[in-house]
Amino acid sequence: MEGLHLRIVFGRSETVISPVESGYFLKYISTIPIVSRNIAAKLGRLTMKKLLLLAFSAISFNLFFTQRSVAQQGVAQQDSTQIIELADIIISENRMQTPFSELARSIHLVTRETIETTPAQSINELLSYVPGMDIRQRGPAGVQADLRIRGGTFEQVLVLINGVKVSDPQTGHHMLNLPLDRNNIERIEVLKGPGARVYGQNAFAGAINIVTKVPEKPTINAGAYGGQFGTWGARAGIAIPGERYGQYVSVAHDRSDGYRPNSDYEITNLFYQSYAKTQIGTLNFLGGHTMREFGASGFYVPDSEEYEEVRSSLISVDLDTKIGSWDVRPRLYWRRNHDDYLFMRSNPAVYNNIHTTQVGAAEINATRLNNLGLTGLGVEFRREFIDSDNFSGGTQQPALGNWQRSILGVFAEHRFYFFDRMDVTPGLYINWFSDFGWNYFPGLDVSYDLSREWKVFGNLGRSFRIHTYTDLYYDGPSNVGNDQLQPEEAWTYEAGVKYFGQHFWGQASYFFRDGSQLIDWVRTDTEQPWQPQNYYDVATEGLEVEINGRFSAESFLKTASISYTYLNADLGNTEGVESRYVLDHLNHQFIASLTNTIWNNIQLSTRLRYLDRMTQEDYFVLDTRLFYQTDEWNIYVEATNLTDTEYTEAGFVTMPGRWVRAGVNVTLPY
């Protein structure tokens, strides 16, 4: 195949190249994790930061050089060309659907290909490799984790499944109690920046939309894995697609004896999805249930004997239909979360909190293409409930109490197209909240195509975050709520540039978030309990650079990516105050990944993360997976934290050291 050339089409980019890739670049980038580990073991913190900066610069240069040299070879030999179409993924916002390459926002995609090659067993672990995202895990395999985006707190991120909001009115700690595992996911869309104009309340610093679907072919899939610390898992699913009706059902179970005392866990996920094509449109149904039981030592109190059981359920039904010239999608959904917390696992009567929350919602979204562009309209109504009790020493009393509240939101936006190069999308979300009345949240996205490959973009928006019931009413030994809280607010501004080329795509952006009335749990001395206050006005600025590469099937190098995130926060009113959340954000984050072919269908995936947080020691973690992959089989051996780094992400929980697992996944047609 010496004379064969490729023409790669991605979005608006189309270029002829040679399939020969630079082996020197691969050998160079492959040595970075080893060099980083050896040097970091001997040198200090400052040297580590310099090393990572140099590595980032060198990799960027090599990516550019590799692309340029390969492109030149392809232009010289255009006589035999094979066309490979890399489909531009459609980002499914609640109303408008936009090709990934045309978005005027910072969006990161976790594709199905990435999911299959990443050394991770849970959604939490998958998200830890997303630039600008800070995952604070309290245990492995998706036991519990908090999400932070661009220096925001774990309460300032909205999580959705196929556009269905799964936020919990009790606390953001339950945001990732999701009734699905990695095998159910088609892709994950990570929106970085204000999302109130699109998703409404609580998309303060960003939003994550997990996209699932019924597989297009009739298949049976199954998998199992095992590893250290008595860890094992198994999963199975069956897809029954059809021309008029299709469905998919799966079950997954994970368990471990734990890598330290009282860190055992069991997680069971049940998931179902179906569609039915009728005369009026396509009816979609989604249902799921997750059961989690885990030792929670150090989750909230150091050296504790905490234990927790969580049950979460989600049901959603929507209809894709057309009314005149409008594409309309009405939706109903319901979510329930039950949390049973014990302060002492060996003696439940000492302190036991039981919280049950329920959310019911209805929404309708519509879009219409007209001579002026694309119009999007929507309205939603949510009703949130909580029933919360505490049992201490045989006495029952309210913990958070019994409360309910209502939320009404109205959306409007329009995308204007100018000169076939420029998109301008203004929008507005108007909100009524039963506790404090009306408010409004405008936003604006602008992009301009400099060429087929290069795009500049900018956006701005006002966002807000509604306080949780824990913020308002919690009453415990070391924490006291505050029922006088007001919602958090912020204006965010961003500008950047994107590139979509033959093998590479990426972006660089600068953002500034001016937050006011930010809620944090604070105290003035250690004798006082923690209490939330609208305490801070915080100005946060940041810089993100991300480069991704994907190469031909014949190439030794399959995929490569690097990213760097810098954050700086100007915090006021901090003198003499101890903060629990707002002051603990990332300063520097570096992520590098590489997937390459070892021999035939045997591949090696390597992931390196470096994190430097404001109030913690910096650290880096190296994960890797060696796997054999065909259309039907994936057999792997993976190791997380290969360098055996000691680090903490959340609470008082030291994360696992080196952890080796092996497993197999099989997908068979029937």
The whole-angstrom separation of Cα 603 and Cα 601 is 6
Sorting pLDDT into bands at 50, 70 and 90, what band is 4? very low
**Residue 346 maps to which CATH number?**
2.40.170.20
Residues 414 and 308 in one domain: yes
Residues 118 and 192 in one domain: yes
**Strand (E) positions, 111-144?**
133-137
How many residues comprise the chain? 670
Structural domain count of the chain: 2
Instruction: Say if CB 75 and CB 1 are below 8 A apart.
Output: no
Residues 614 and 581 in one domain: yes
Sorting pLDDT into bands at 50, 70 and 90, what band is 22? very low
Sorting pLDDT into bands at 50, 70 and 90, what band is 523? confident
Residue 576 has pLDDT above 60, yes or no: yes
Give residue 428's domain range.
89-669
pTM: 0.86
For residue 572, the model assigns a pLDDT of 64
Cβ neighbours for 49, distance < 8 A, ≥ 6 positions apart: 588, 612, 618
Instruction: Give rounded-to-5 percent helix, strand, coil for the chain.
Output: 10, 60, 30
Mean pLDDT (the chain) is 85
Instruction: Say if CB 186 and CB 211 are below 8 A apart.
Output: yes
HSE, side-chain direction, 13 A CA sphere, residue 603: 23
Residues 106 and 80 in one domain: no
Q: 389 - beta bridge partners? A: 354, 398
For residue 609, the model assigns a pLDDT of 97
Task: Calculate the CA dihedral of residues 316, 317, 320, 322 and round it to 10 degrees.
Answer: -130
Neighbouring C-beta atoms of residue 272, cutoff 10 Å: 18
User: What secondary structure does DSSP assign to 517-550, as a single string?
Assistant: EEEEEEESSTTSPBEEEEEEEEEEEEEEEEEEEE
Residues 74 and 114 in one domain: no
Task: Indicate the residue among 84, 114, 132 that finishes a domain.
Answer: 84
Task: Indicate the residue among 84, 112, 128 that finishes a domain.
Answer: 84
Q: Which residue has the higher pLDDT, 233 or 7?
A: 233
- At 292-343, the pLDDT tens digits run 999 999 988 888 899 999 999 999 999 999 999 999 999 999 999 999 999 9
C-alpha distances out from residue 638 to 36, 120, 227, 315, 642, Å? 20, 8, 9, 34, 9
For residue 103, the model assigns a pLDDT of 84
DSSP annotation of 174 reads G
- At 250-261, the pLDDT tens digits run 999 999 999 999
Average pLDDT of span 564-576 = 80
Sorting pLDDT into bands at 50, 70 and 90, what band is 573? low
Task: Indicate the residue among 84, 107, 134 that finishes a domain.
Answer: 84
Residues 359 and 477 in one domain: yes
Q: Which residue has the higher pLDDT, 199 or 491?
A: 491
Question: Which H or E run includes 514?
Answer: strand 504-523
For residue 637, the model assigns a pLDDT of 98
For residue 491, the model assigns a pLDDT of 96
For residue 25, the model assigns a pLDDT of 34
Residues 122 and 190 in one domain: yes
Residue 412 has pLDDT above 50, yes or no: yes
Residues 53 and 128 in one domain: no
Q: In this structure, which long-range contacts are made by residues 55-62, counting pairs with CB atoms below 8 Å and at least 24 apart in sequence?
A: 55/590, 55/592, 56/545, 56/562, 56/564, 56/590, 58/28, 59/29, 59/32, 59/547, 59/560, 59/562, 59/592, 60/545, 60/547, 60/562, 62/22, 62/25, 62/28, 62/29
Percent of the chain topping pLDDT 70: 85
- At 149-163, the pLDDT tens digits run 999 988 999 999 999
The whole-angstrom separation of Cα 562 and Cα 506 is 10
Residues 43 and 97 in one domain: no
DSSP annotation of 198 reads H
Cβ neighbours for 669, distance < 8 A, ≥ 6 positions apart: 217, 218, 219
Residue 14 has pLDDT above 50, yes or no: no
Residues 45 and 132 in one domain: no
Average pLDDT of span 403-422 = 94
Residue 139 has pLDDT above 80, yes or no: yes
**Each residue of 390-412: b (16+ CB within 10 Å) or e?**
bbbeeeeeebbbebeeebebebb
User: What secondary structure does DSSP assign to 635-655, as a single string?
Assistant: EEEEEESTT----B-STTPBP
- At 340-375, the pLDDT tens digits run 999 999 999 999 999 999 999 999 999 999 988 999
Sorting pLDDT into bands at 50, 70 and 90, what band is 23? very low
Residue 377 has pLDDT above 50, yes or no: yes
Q: 534 - beta bridge partners? A: 519
- At 442-477, the pLDDT tens digits run 999 999 999 999 999 999 999 999 999 999 998 877
- At 48-87, the pLDDT tens digits run 444 444 444 444 444 444 444 344 434 333 333 333 334 4
Residues 223 and 76 in one domain: no
Average pLDDT of span 239-249 = 96
Q: In this structure, which long-range contacts are made by residues 601-609, counting pairs with CB atoms below 8 Å and at least 24 apart in sequence?
A: 601/628, 601/629, 601/630, 602/626, 602/627, 602/628, 603/117, 603/558, 603/627, 603/628, 603/629, 605/117, 605/118, 605/119, 606/30, 606/33, 607/118, 607/119, 607/129, 608/32, 608/33, 608/36, 609/128, 609/129
Q: What values do phi and psi take at 69, rounded to 5? A: -65, -40
The whole-angstrom separation of Cα 425 and Cα 593 is 34
Percent of the chain topping pLDDT 90: 67
Residue 521 has pLDDT above 60, yes or no: yes
Residue 104 has pLDDT above 80, yes or no: yes
Residues 178 and 74 in one domain: no
For residue 582, the model assigns a pLDDT of 66
The whole-angstrom separation of Cα 226 and Cα 136 is 24
Amino acid (one-letter) located at 650:
A
Q: How far is CA 244 from the centre of its chain?
A: 33
For residue 8, the model assigns a pLDDT of 37
Residue 24 has pLDDT above 60, yes or no: no
